[in-house]
Amino acid sequence: MSRGTRIISALVWRGVFVALSLLVFSCQSLTPPEKLVGQGVVQKVVTDDRRVVIAHDDIPGFMAAMTMSFEVKNPTLLTQLTPGERISFTLEKTEDTLYLVAVEKEKK
C-alpha cells in the first residue's frame, strides 16, 4: 500500500469515526430541565441584559437566601416586574443554564 493510499484510508476511517460519534451522541436522550420555585423581592430590572435582580429566600435543595441576578428565558417577563414587589418565581435549570421562566406577584 502506497503512502498516499494509507493517508486517504486513515482520513476515511477518521471521517467514519467522527460521523458515528456524532450519531451516537445525537441519539442520547436529553434530560428535561429541573424546575425550582422561589420567593423574593425584585430589586432591579435590567431589560438590556434580559435580567432581573431578586433578593430571594432560600430555594430548598438549591441555594441559600441571597440577592442574585437571573436571566429570563422570555424577555416579556421583565415587563411584569417592578422593583420593590414581592414575587414567586420559577427557575428552569439544566447542566449548562439557569433561566427564570415564570413569575407571579404575591398577594399583599
pLDDT tens across 44-80, in order? 999 999 999 999 999 998 999 999 999 999 999 999 9
Band (17; pLDDT cuts 50, 70, 90): low
Q: Identify the pLDDT of residue 53.
A: 98
Q: Identify the pLDDT of residue 37.
A: 96
Name every residue whose Cβ is closer than 8 Å to that of residue 96 and which is 6 or more positions away in sequence. none
Band (4; pLDDT cuts 50, 70, 90): low
User: What is the rounded distance in angstroms from the CA atom of residue 58 to the CA atom of residue 38?
Assistant: 7
User: What is the rounded distance in angstroms from the CA atom of residue 77 to the CA atom of residue 74?
Assistant: 6
Domain ranges of the chain: 1-30, 34-105
Instruction: Report whether CATH 2.30.30.90 matches the domain 34-105.
Output: no
Name every residue whose Cβ is closer than 8 Å to that of residue 76 and which is 6 or more positions away in sequence. none
Q: Is the CB of residue 50 less than 8 Å from the CB of residue 28?
A: no
